[in-house]
Amino acid sequence: MPMISASDFRNGVTFEMDGKVMQVVEFQHVKPGKGAAFVRTKMKNVITGGVTETSFNPTAKFEQAFVERKDMDYSYSDGDLYYFMDPETFDMIPIGKDLLGDSFKFVKENMTCKVMSYKGSVFGVEPPNFVELEVTETDPGFAGNTATNNVLKPATLETGAEIKVPLFVNPGDRIKIDPRTGENLERCKA
Protein backbone atom coordinates (compact mmCIF):
# COMPACT_ATOMS: atom_id res chain seq x y z
CA MET A 1 0.00 0.00 0.00
CA PRO A 2 1.29 3.49 -0.79
CA MET A 3 2.15 5.72 2.13
CA ILE A 4 1.11 9.34 2.61
CA SER A 5 2.68 11.89 4.94
CA ALA A 6 0.71 14.41 6.98
CA SER A 7 2.29 17.20 4.91
CA ASP A 8 0.39 15.79 1.88
CA PHE A 9 -3.03 15.98 3.57
CA ARG A 10 -5.76 17.59 1.50
CA ASN A 11 -9.56 17.63 1.93
CA GLY A 12 -11.01 14.24 1.01
CA VAL A 13 -7.76 12.26 1.42
CA THR A 14 -8.37 8.89 3.11
CA PHE A 15 -5.76 7.12 5.20
CA GLU A 16 -5.49 4.34 7.73
CA MET A 17 -4.70 5.24 11.35
CA ASP A 18 -4.76 2.76 14.26
CA GLY A 19 -6.70 0.29 12.09
CA LYS A 20 -9.40 2.86 11.26
CA VAL A 21 -10.12 4.53 7.91
CA MET A 22 -10.02 8.31 8.28
CA GLN A 23 -10.88 11.06 5.80
CA VAL A 24 -9.45 14.57 6.02
CA VAL A 25 -12.29 17.09 6.41
CA GLU A 26 -10.13 20.17 7.11
CA PHE A 27 -6.40 20.69 7.45
CA GLN A 28 -4.08 23.57 8.24
CA HIS A 29 -0.29 23.68 7.99
CA VAL A 30 0.94 25.60 11.04
CA LYS A 31 4.44 27.05 11.37
CA PRO A 32 4.69 28.70 14.80
CA GLY A 33 7.42 31.27 15.46
CA LYS A 34 9.07 28.89 17.90
CA GLY A 35 9.01 25.12 17.77
CA ALA A 36 8.36 22.64 15.01
CA ALA A 37 5.74 22.96 12.28
CA PHE A 38 2.65 20.74 12.51
CA VAL A 39 -0.49 19.88 10.57
CA ARG A 40 -3.75 20.58 12.41
CA THR A 41 -6.28 18.09 11.03
CA LYS A 42 -10.01 17.61 11.39
CA MET A 43 -10.83 14.09 10.22
CA LYS A 44 -13.83 11.80 10.00
CA ASN A 45 -13.90 8.07 10.61
CA VAL A 46 -15.52 6.92 7.33
CA ILE A 47 -17.02 3.83 8.96
CA THR A 48 -18.57 5.37 12.10
CA GLY A 49 -18.87 9.01 10.97
CA GLY A 50 -17.16 10.25 14.15
CA VAL A 51 -15.16 13.47 13.73
CA THR A 52 -11.93 14.17 15.64
CA GLU A 53 -9.28 16.87 15.58
CA THR A 54 -5.59 16.02 15.90
CA SER A 55 -2.24 17.64 15.20
CA PHE A 56 0.41 15.66 13.33
CA ASN A 57 4.10 16.09 12.70
CA PRO A 58 4.31 16.86 8.94
CA THR A 59 6.64 13.88 8.47
CA ALA A 60 4.22 11.39 10.09
CA LYS A 61 3.47 8.61 7.60
CA PHE A 62 0.21 6.72 7.14
CA GLU A 63 -0.98 3.98 4.84
CA GLN A 64 -3.20 5.47 2.16
CA ALA A 65 -6.71 3.99 2.25
CA PHE A 66 -8.58 3.51 -1.00
CA VAL A 67 -12.31 3.67 -0.39
CA GLU A 68 -14.25 2.26 -3.33
CA ARG A 69 -17.39 4.22 -4.22
CA LYS A 70 -19.37 2.21 -6.76
CA ASP A 71 -22.66 3.17 -8.41
CA MET A 72 -25.22 0.44 -7.75
CA ASP A 73 -28.97 0.27 -8.30
CA TYR A 74 -31.18 -0.36 -5.29
CA SER A 75 -33.41 -3.31 -6.27
CA TYR A 76 -35.51 -4.48 -3.31
CA SER A 77 -35.54 -5.26 0.39
CA ASP A 78 -36.22 -8.53 2.18
CA GLY A 79 -36.54 -8.02 5.92
CA ASP A 80 -33.43 -6.19 7.13
CA LEU A 81 -31.46 -6.93 3.94
CA TYR A 82 -31.44 -4.47 1.07
CA TYR A 83 -30.29 -5.73 -2.33
CA PHE A 84 -28.20 -3.63 -4.71
CA MET A 85 -27.36 -4.60 -8.28
CA ASP A 86 -24.00 -3.94 -9.88
CA PRO A 87 -24.95 -2.47 -13.31
CA GLU A 88 -21.80 -3.92 -14.91
CA THR A 89 -21.90 -7.51 -13.64
CA PHE A 90 -25.61 -7.69 -12.64
CA ASP A 91 -24.50 -9.26 -9.33
CA MET A 92 -26.90 -8.70 -6.44
CA ILE A 93 -25.25 -7.58 -3.20
CA PRO A 94 -27.18 -7.76 0.10
CA ILE A 95 -26.49 -4.91 2.54
CA GLY A 96 -27.77 -4.86 6.12
CA LYS A 97 -30.22 -2.15 7.16
CA ASP A 98 -27.78 -0.94 9.85
CA LEU A 99 -25.32 0.23 7.14
CA LEU A 100 -27.83 2.34 5.20
CA GLY A 101 -28.18 5.42 7.38
CA ASP A 102 -31.11 7.73 7.95
CA SER A 103 -31.06 9.29 4.46
CA PHE A 104 -31.95 5.94 2.87
CA LYS A 105 -35.64 6.51 3.74
CA PHE A 106 -35.76 8.74 0.63
CA VAL A 107 -34.55 6.01 -1.73
CA LYS A 108 -36.96 3.93 -3.79
CA GLU A 109 -36.42 0.92 -6.01
CA ASN A 110 -34.24 1.36 -9.11
CA MET A 111 -32.50 4.50 -7.78
CA THR A 112 -28.72 4.56 -8.20
CA CYS A 113 -26.75 4.92 -4.96
CA LYS A 114 -23.04 4.94 -4.15
CA VAL A 115 -22.04 1.81 -2.26
CA MET A 116 -18.87 2.48 -0.26
CA SER A 117 -16.46 -0.29 0.66
CA TYR A 118 -12.97 -0.65 2.04
CA LYS A 119 -10.92 -3.77 1.29
CA GLY A 120 -14.05 -5.45 -0.08
CA SER A 121 -16.18 -4.78 3.02
CA VAL A 122 -19.22 -2.51 2.55
CA PHE A 123 -19.53 0.15 5.26
CA GLY A 124 -22.10 2.57 3.88
CA VAL A 125 -24.51 3.63 1.17
CA GLU A 126 -24.92 7.20 -0.10
CA PRO A 127 -28.26 8.06 -1.72
CA PRO A 128 -28.39 10.24 -4.84
CA ASN A 129 -27.80 13.96 -4.17
CA PHE A 130 -31.38 14.75 -5.16
CA VAL A 131 -34.47 12.59 -5.47
CA GLU A 132 -37.93 13.24 -6.87
CA LEU A 133 -40.70 11.64 -4.83
CA GLU A 134 -44.47 11.80 -4.84
CA VAL A 135 -46.36 13.13 -1.84
CA THR A 136 -48.84 10.39 -0.91
CA GLU A 137 -50.42 12.00 2.12
CA THR A 138 -50.74 15.54 3.45
CA ASP A 139 -53.50 17.96 4.35
CA PRO A 140 -54.76 19.66 1.19
CA GLY A 141 -53.58 23.20 0.51
CA PHE A 142 -56.05 25.99 -0.08
CA ALA A 143 -56.23 29.15 -2.17
CA GLY A 144 -54.02 31.98 -0.97
CA ASN A 145 -51.21 29.73 0.26
CA THR A 146 -48.05 30.86 -1.44
CA ALA A 147 -44.40 29.98 -1.19
CA THR A 148 -43.77 33.16 0.81
CA ASN A 149 -45.83 31.98 3.81
CA ASN A 150 -42.88 29.89 5.10
CA VAL A 151 -45.44 27.77 6.95
CA LEU A 152 -44.86 24.03 6.73
CA LYS A 153 -47.09 21.00 7.22
CA PRO A 154 -46.26 17.31 7.60
CA ALA A 155 -46.34 15.10 4.50
CA THR A 156 -45.75 11.40 3.82
CA LEU A 157 -43.79 10.45 0.70
CA GLU A 158 -44.11 7.36 -1.50
CA THR A 159 -41.18 5.74 0.35
CA GLY A 160 -42.97 6.17 3.70
CA ALA A 161 -40.61 8.96 4.82
CA GLU A 162 -42.18 11.94 6.57
CA ILE A 163 -41.03 15.50 5.95
CA LYS A 164 -42.32 19.06 6.22
CA VAL A 165 -43.59 20.74 3.06
CA PRO A 166 -45.06 24.19 2.24
CA LEU A 167 -48.83 24.57 2.57
CA PHE A 168 -49.39 24.69 -1.21
CA VAL A 169 -48.11 21.10 -1.73
CA ASN A 170 -50.91 18.56 -2.27
CA PRO A 171 -51.13 14.75 -2.39
CA GLY A 172 -49.97 13.58 -5.83
CA ASP A 173 -47.44 16.42 -6.21
CA ARG A 174 -43.86 15.41 -6.95
CA ILE A 175 -41.19 17.18 -4.95
CA LYS A 176 -37.40 17.33 -5.15
CA ILE A 177 -35.59 16.43 -1.92
CA ASP A 178 -31.99 16.47 -0.70
CA PRO A 179 -31.75 13.07 1.10
CA ARG A 180 -28.73 14.21 3.13
CA THR A 181 -30.78 16.88 4.91
CA GLY A 182 -34.35 15.70 4.25
CA GLU A 183 -35.04 19.20 2.96
CA ASN A 184 -37.78 19.79 0.43
CA LEU A 185 -36.11 21.84 -2.33
CA GLU A 186 -38.90 22.45 -4.83
CA ARG A 187 -42.12 21.16 -6.29
CA CYS A 188 -41.53 19.44 -9.62
CA LYS A 189 -43.43 20.28 -12.76
CA ALA A 190 -45.94 17.65 -13.85
Q: Give domain limits for the chain.
A: 3-64, 67-126, 131-187
pLDDT at 15: 93
Residue 121 to residues 45, 68, 95, 102, 154, Cα–Cα distance (Å)? 15, 10, 10, 20, 38
Can you name the CATH fold of 131-187?
OB fold (Dihydrolipoamide Acetyltransferase, E2P) (2.40.50)
Same fold, 3-64 and 131-187: no
Task: Output the CATH code of domain 67-126.
Answer: 2.40.50.140
Sign of the C-alpha dihedral, residues 104, 106, 109, 113?
negative
pLDDT at 76: 94
pLDDT at 114: 92
Q: Which neighbouring-strand residues pair with 43? A: 24, 52
CATH class held by domain 3-64: mainly beta
Q: Which neighbouring-strand residues pair with 45? A: 22
Residue of 121, 47, 66, 111 whose CA lies nearest to 85: 111
pLDDT at 149: 56
pLDDT at 139: 85
pLDDT at 145: 53
Task: Flag whether the pTM goes above 0.75.
Answer: no
Residue of 90, 174, 76 whose CA lies nearest to 130: 174
pLDDT at 174: 92
Whole-angstrom distance, CA of residue 111 vs CA of residue 85: 10
Positions of the chain with pLDDT lower than 70, given as ranges: 1, 141-149, 190
Q: Which neighbouring-strand residues pair with 162? A: 156
